[in-house]
Amino acid sequence: MKKRVKNWLKHIWQEVILPHNWLRQLNTRAGFFSWIVLFLVLKTVLAYGADFEWLHVQDPIQVLLLFVNPIGFTMILLSSTLLIKPKQIYYGALLILDTVLSLLLYLNVIYFREFSDFLSINTILGYNTVNQGGKAAGAIAFGVHDIFFWIDIVAMIALIITRKIKFDPRPLARFQPFKIFTIGFFILTVNLLVADIDRPQLLTRQFDREYMVKYLGLGPFTIYDAFNTYQTGQVRKSATPEEFTKVKNYVSEHYAAINPQFYGKAKGKNVIVIHLESFQQMSIDAKINGQEVTPFLNSLYHNQSTIAFDNFFNQVGQGKTSDAENMLETSTFGLPQGSLFSKLGNDQTFQAMPAILNQHGDYSSAVFHGNTGTFWNRNNVYKHMGYQNWISGDYFDVTGQKATTWGLKDKLLFKDSVPYLENLQQPFYAKYLTVTNHTPYTLDRDDRDPNFATTNSGSKIVDNYFVTNHYLDQAVKEFFDYLNKSGLAKNTMVVLYGDHYGISNTDAKYLAPILGKDESQWNDLDNANLQRVPFMIYMPGMKNGYINHTYGGEIDVAPTIEHLLGVNSKSYIQFGQDLLSQQHSQIVAFRNKDWITPDYASLSGRYWEVKTNTMIENPTADQEKMFDQIQSEVTTKLNMSDSLNQKNLLRFYTPKGFKPVEEKDFDYSKRATIARLKSENNKLGKNSKSLFGKNNNQSTISQYVTDAPEAKDQQTDTTRVLPRNADDWSQSE
């Protein structure tokens, strides 16, 4: 055995390492093959390092995967050529495949330099014209090392022409191609298994293309994307306008009439939506050690200018934040699996809030968020939704302590957004996606309020959660102070909502004592009850605010807001119902087809009586009938929404007075955004309706007060933002 290993090492040393043998190997079929595989793997690793920023690897397993993931795939793909007997065809096929794979790699490198993203099949095939944003094709950024992506191919061809490499006429031994294929297959399988352990649900949730490339490699990612695109394409191809008619009829039948008491109450006002990351209703009014966790949000909740809801549920699926966003902007559900943003967002037809408000009330629009622009495919989705400005983490200084792994800290996000916010023409529709209150809820000591002592619950997640809740509360308060000082508050409606749970079912029982419950009695209905998230509509000047107990959820927000703004939602295809309508149905559908009403709930196949918190072991015949009826309503609603989205049926329908959104009208580069906002202000001169214009072209930033300790920190060249990996829970302070 020892001798065999020794011989093998000797063989490797002489045949592979020592340069004078290289040419001899290149003159055999197997040698030529091995060199091509080796070069392709090296070039891929070069691209990972020099261009794709090492894909933000975080742990040794990921580093290992980076080096391994090109090997299996390349071996499998190229092994097919080993079956070819005629020498010219064998060498030709190998070189063509080599060129194709190198081209795929290189195109991705160039594309990444411009868009910080990988090529999807749609982009490659040109179905989805990428907005060049005024950048001429000539502006492609070349790098010095680019030569390495091609030099091996050029050298091989040169060696063949000069007959230094001669075609080897001997085909490989009978089992050799199969052996090589099997080794490649084995490597790829191990790669997939390790990836699944390190990052479960990688394929189903599809967070980000970078995740997929990091774990699977560029080739498998492209094939998976092609498969996905093909599947979506098939579903879409088969769709007919008649299917749309079915959906449209369903939606019209379920339209909940306008309540005149509220219709148009906020007409013409700016809208600011504050997305409270992972923030649950149970934190509202909660006291820990006798102290309120979120005193400011509580004061808004009880404010006479606020309509607040205490039975409002999140309805997200695997797309988490992106599902919540989709529901709020479109009043359609996310998908049964994965994120609609990631899966369909490249070419979906949306009739979404920013476009609707722009076309009905000349609203300008912007999203502010501290994470990179590509996460959840937002770079593409927002264009299709008609967002004019997408001010992502790529715009801000996120260096040093200014960010957590998820992006710019909330206090800084609100403050640093001001130069953009004040330049938006009014009325505007602006959305803030906060992110500091995101699992694992770790926060630097300097950001913590020394006067706030959190729980000692037995779960670190729970204890930390209240700390970041408290921070989020302070951040929102600082922003409200600015809105008041700058005068924006007067003509603005602020909508606040929580996107989904922060404490998972696994940790929820630790909340029992805090919520005055018995931990040993904790059940499925308790978990479902925790899916409540805040929903508040704050309108300064309104006097008759109240806490509304209607059961509803995220799907209902768009029509509610539209009606408050005096825009009738009737002609749009929306699955939610105005929460303020007398006809609003109180059946809340969860994405997994479970449901809850004020009286009953159906959770994982069991029924519950909501008010008494008891399971219904033996439903009566009447109850069975009623539950079946509710279930069928829930299932139909979700199916209708899925049919609309998966088949992209909105392309068959343009509501009266609505102009379809064109992706190419939008450019989210920082340079273009700043120039655009400036030129709008200049063009309008005295008629500019931006806060900046109204303030005699003076910035209002000096009116912003924050106690964020990092606000004055100099920019450094370190950053903690590792958004694509950040739900790695081991990532602590």
Stretch that binds Mn ion, among 312-320, 357-365, 606-614, 663-671 (CB under 5 A): 312-320
Annotated catalytic residue within 81, 232, 294, 321: 321
Residue 164 token pair: 């230094």
210 in contact with Mn ion (CB under 5 A) = no
Q: Write the burial class of residue 615 (CB in 10 Å: 0-12 exposed, 13-18 middle, 19+ buried).
A: middle
Strands ordered across the beta sheet of 364-369: 389-391, 364-369, 428-433, 270-276, 492-498, 535-538, 306-309, 546-548
- Name the minimum Å distance from CB 347 to Mn ion: 24
Cis peptide before 534 (omega within 30 of 0): no
3-state class (DSSP) for residue 270: strand
Task: Name the β-bridge partners of 276.
Answer: 498
d(CA 438, CA 315): 18
Residue 435: contacted member of ligand GP9, Mn ion, none (CB under 5 to 8 Å, by partner type):
ligand GP9
Told to check if 594 binds Mn ion by CB under 5 A, we report: no
Comparing CA positions, the residue from 54, 74, 52 lying closest to residue 64 is 54
**Block residue for tokens 């933002």:** 721
Nearer to ligand GP9, 320 or 591 (CB): 320
Q: How far is the CB of 368 from ligand GP9 (least distance, A)?
A: 12
Q: Which of 243, 727 has the CB closer to ligand GP9?
A: 727
Q: How many CA atoms lie within 13 A of 517 on its CB side?
A: 18
Instruction: Residue 371: name its binding partner from ligand GP9, Mn ion, none (Cβ under 5 to 8 Å by kind).
Output: ligand GP9
Do residues 716 and 401 touch, judged by C-beta distance below 8 A?
no
How many residues bind Mn ion (CB under 5 A)? The answer is 3
If the CB atoms of residues 29 and 199 are measured against Mn ion, the closer one turns out to be 199
Find the binding residues for Mn ion in span 318-357 (CB under 5 A).
320-321
> What is the closest distance, in whole angstroms, from the C-beta atom of residue 154 to Mn ion in the complex?
48
Instruction: Retrieve residue 127's tokens.
Output: 């179905």
Q: What is the DSSP annotation of 456-499?
A: --S-HHHHHHHHHHHHHHHHHHHHHHHHHHHSGGGGEEEEEEE-
Q: Is the dihedral of CA 708, 711, 712, 716 positive or negative?
A: positive
Cβ 315 to ligand GP9 shortest distance, Å: 14
- Residue (211 or 263) nearer to ligand GP9, CB: 211
Give the nearer residue to ligand GP9 in terms of CB position, either 415 or 438: 438
Residue whose CB is less far from ligand GP9, 156 or 433: 433
- Nearest residue to ligand GP9 on Cβ basis: 320
Q: How far apart are the C-alpha atoms of 170 and 544, rounded to whole Å? A: 89
**405 scored as a contact of Mn ion (CB under 5 A):** no
Minimum gap (Å) between residue 468 Cβ and ligand GP9: 13
Least distance in angstroms from the C-beta of 320 to Mn ion: 5
Binding footprint of ligand GP9 on the chain (CB under 6 A): 320-321, 371, 375, 433, 435, 438, 723
Least distance to ligand GP9 from the beta carbon of 435, Å? 5
* Residues paired with 616 in a beta bridge: 607
**Beta carbon of residue 554, minimum distance to ligand GP9 (angstroms, whole number):** 13
Is 374 annotated as catalytic? no
- Count of CB atoms situated within 10 Å of the CB of 81: 21
Tell me the C-alpha distance between 671 and 389, whole Å. 12
For ligand GP9, the closer CB: 346 or 371: 371
Q: Does the protein bind Mn ion through residue 152 (CB under 5 A)?
A: no
| Residue facing Mn ion at closest CB distance | 321
Sign of CA dihedral 238, 243, 245, 251: negative
Nearer to Mn ion, 325 or 562 (CB): 325
* 123 versus 321: smaller Cβ distance to ligand GP9: 321
Cα 722 from chain centroid? Answer: 14
Told to check if 292 binds Mn ion by CB under 5 A, we report: no
Beta partners for residue 15, in sequence order: none
Stretch in the footprint of Mn ion (CB under 5 A) among 158-166, 314-322, 364-372, 509-517: 314-322
Please work out, in degrees rounded to the nearest 5, the angle formed at the alpha carbon of residue 494 by the alpha carbons of 493 and 498.
145
Q: Which of 408, 407, 411 is nearest to 475 (CA)?
A: 411
Shortest distance in whole angstroms from residue 285 CB to ligand GP9: 24
CB 106 within 8 A of CB 146: yes
The footprint of Mn ion on residues 646-685 (CB under 5 A) is none
The nearest distance, CB 53 to ligand GP9, in angstroms, is 18
C-beta closer to ligand GP9: residue 82 or 352:
352
Piece of 30-38, 76-84, 496-504, 626-634 that binds Mn ion (CB under 5 A): 496-504
Q: Which of 313, 298, 296, 325 is nearest to 535 (CA)?
A: 313
Question: 3-state class of 5 per DSSP?
Answer: helix
Cβ neighbours of residue 389 closer than 8 Å, sequence gap 6 or more:
364, 365, 366, 367, 420, 424, 668, 673, 677
Which residues are designated catalytic? 321
Q: Which residues bind Mn ion (CB under 5 A)?
A: 320-321, 499
